[in-house]
């Protein structure tokens, strides 16, 4: 096992094993932030040549926008430092992961194994900062919250099983698909509707694809059909969920939740009703943002609940009796409402990278196909519907997508050097991962 493989495993294994400084930060994140400037200087020529400059520049603009927004809004120093931490961590984690993966992109699998380990550690050994904060806020036992918090067991179970298709899809495609379908069913039973939808979509992508470049490229060539499949998958997920919850498979609590949501103007998306309050907040400050951890002093959440005619939510809100933070509850909306237009532009660029990967490059590295098929649907959902938390996981997906793009460019140009590292090219149209497949030659 090489040094870089060990480091990639440790990066994943300690990404959610967090310590508290001003806010909570993963041990591996902190180390990468500290060594990141040196890595940036050493690998700057490679980062530029490999097309990472736009990603890093937009991350830097996000940092700049965060500082300006917090200064203008007179954000408290503690909140400002916590808010600007996310783009700074993304910047340096991306640099470090690039340095570890540039020689052999297949090594990303070691980080995936580490991410499965960190999920276990953050649930049963050293709870993450989110769990600790929740427990402290409500005066609960931290260990119990970590293990009993909704969907915790599902996240651990799925993270462990997820390593099988990521590591062995090319040799065990049938088994991998069965595991993903089982994960989808288990997620549904546990009440994880978003995970259920994402796993179904991943199964569709893997089923349409295959084990060789030519087969996988069918997914990219049929991207419009895949978009239609996404809609069908969402419809199937909705129907299966409704059938399961009405028949009592998911318990009385989920049934009550479902009955409340179907009465909402936005239906099952009422669980993501923050979208409405975010719309009000963005319209109020479309360029500058409201600052990190901004308080909802103008009542955006109340206006959203009134528009939704959600009397129960309004009653709970007034019962709490305190002003909460503006809730972005999504990668892109959180960045936009806090830090303004440059926070949103960064995530729009990420969406463009994801789209190009899906429509052009899924088959460039067959060894990464299963990982991309599983991580991209989850990332797309998170960008629009989940708060930004697992930064190492995001950066790993982004770095793999950007390296796949670079390998695709080099293969198309038939260049024979990759930043001083011999590039493995293909003689066969059926096998072209960029690295170590049969019928390949080293230039």
pLDDT one digit per residue (tens) for the chain, 443 residues: 589 999 999 999 998 887 877 778 889 999 999 999 999 999 999 999 999 999 999 999 999 999 999 999 999 999 999 999 999 999 999 999 999 999 999 999 999 999 998 888 777 766 665 555 544 444 445 455 555 554 566 677 778 888 999 999 989 989 999 999 888 888 877 777 788 888 888 988 888 887 778 888 877 777 667 667 667 766 776 677 677 777 766 666 666 666 666 555 555 555 556 677 888 888 888 899 999 998 888 888 778 777 776 666 667 666 766 677 887 778 999 999 999 999 999 999 999 999 999 888 888 899 999 999 999 999 998 998 888 888 999 999 999 999 999 999 888 777 544 443 344 433 333 333 333 333 333 22
Question: Do 52 and 91 form a contact (C-beta atoms < 8 A)?
Answer: no
The upper half-sphere exposure of residue 39, i.e. CA atoms within 13 Å in the direction of its Cβ, equals 19
Predicted structure pTM score: 0.84
Q: Which residues on neighbouring strands pair with residue 26, listed in sequence order?
A: 18
| Of residues 400, 373, 398, the one with CA closest to residue 209 | 373
Sorted by sequence, the CB contacts under 8 Å of residue 278 that are 6+ apart come out as 300, 326, 327, 328, 329, 330, 333, 336, 337
Number of domains in the chain: 1
Show the domain range for 325: 3-442
3-class DSSP state of 67: helix
Backbone angles phi and psi of 286, in degrees to 5: -75, -15
The upper half-sphere exposure of residue 58, i.e. CA atoms within 13 Å in the direction of its Cβ, equals 17
As given in the structure block, the two tokens for residue 374 are 């599983």
Q: CA torsion angle for 281, 285, 288, 293 (degrees, to 10)?
A: -30
3-class DSSP state of 235: helix
CA distances from 352 to 77, 108, 191, 209, 347 (A): 33, 22, 31, 22, 9
- What ranges in 247-339 are assigned the alpha helix state H? 251-262, 274-284, 300-308, 311-320, 331-339
């Amino acid at each position: 096992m090489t040094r870089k493989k060990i480091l990639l495993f440790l990066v994943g294994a300690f990404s959610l094993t967090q310590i508290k400084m001003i806010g909570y930060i993963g041990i591996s994140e902190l180390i990468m932030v500290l060594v990141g400037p040196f890595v940036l200087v050493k690998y700057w020529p490679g980062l530029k040549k490999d097309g990472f400059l736009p990603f890093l520049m937009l991350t830097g603009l996000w940092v700049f926008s965060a500082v300006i927004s917090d200064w203008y809004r007179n954000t408290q120093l503690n909140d400002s430092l916590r808010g600007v931490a996310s783009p700074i961590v993304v910047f340096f984690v991306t640099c470090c992961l690039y340095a570890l993966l540039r020689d052999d992109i297949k090594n990303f699998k070691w980080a995936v194994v580490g991410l499965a380990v960190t999920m276990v550690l953050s649930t049963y050994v050293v709870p993450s900062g989110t769990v600790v904060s929740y427990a402290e806020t409500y005066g609960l036992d931290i260990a119990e919250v970590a293990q009993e918090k909704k969907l915790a067991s599902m996240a651990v179970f799925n993270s462990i099983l997820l390593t099988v298709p990521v590591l062995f899809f090319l040799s065990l495609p049938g088994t991998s698909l069965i595991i993903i379908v089982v994960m989808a069913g288990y997620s549904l039973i546990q009440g994880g509707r978003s995970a259920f939808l994402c796993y179904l979509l991943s199964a569709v992508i893997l089923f349409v694809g295959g084990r060789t470049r030519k087969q996988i490229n069918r997914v990219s060539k049929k991207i419009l059909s895949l978009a239609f499949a996404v809609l069908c998958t969402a419809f199937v997920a909705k129907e299966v969920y409704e059938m399961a919850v009405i028949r009592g498979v998911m318990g009385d609590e989920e049934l009550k939740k479902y009955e409340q949501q179907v009465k909402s103007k936005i239906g099952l998306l009422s669980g993501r009703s923050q979208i409405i309050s975010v719309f009000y907040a963005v319209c109020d400050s479309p360029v500058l943002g409201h600052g990190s951890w901004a308080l909802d002093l103008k009542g955006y959440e109340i206006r959203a609940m009134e528009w939704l005619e959600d009397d129960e939510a309004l009653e709970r809100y007034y019962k709490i009796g305190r002003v909460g933070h503006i809730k972005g509850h999504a990668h892109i909306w959180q960045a936009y409402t806090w830090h303004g237009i440059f926070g949103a532009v960064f995530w729009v660029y990420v969406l463009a990278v994801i789209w190009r990967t899906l429509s052009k490059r899924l088959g460039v590295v067959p060894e990464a196909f299963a990982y991309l098929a599983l991580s991209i649907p989850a990332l797309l959902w998170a960008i629009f519907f989940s708060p930004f938390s697992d930064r190492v996981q995001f950066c790993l997906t982004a770095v793999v997508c950007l390296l796949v793009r670079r390998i695709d460019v080099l293969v198309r140009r038939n260049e024979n050097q990759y930043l001083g590292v011999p590039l493995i090219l293909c003689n066969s149209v059926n096998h072209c991962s960029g690295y170590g497949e049969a019928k390949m030659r080293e230039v």
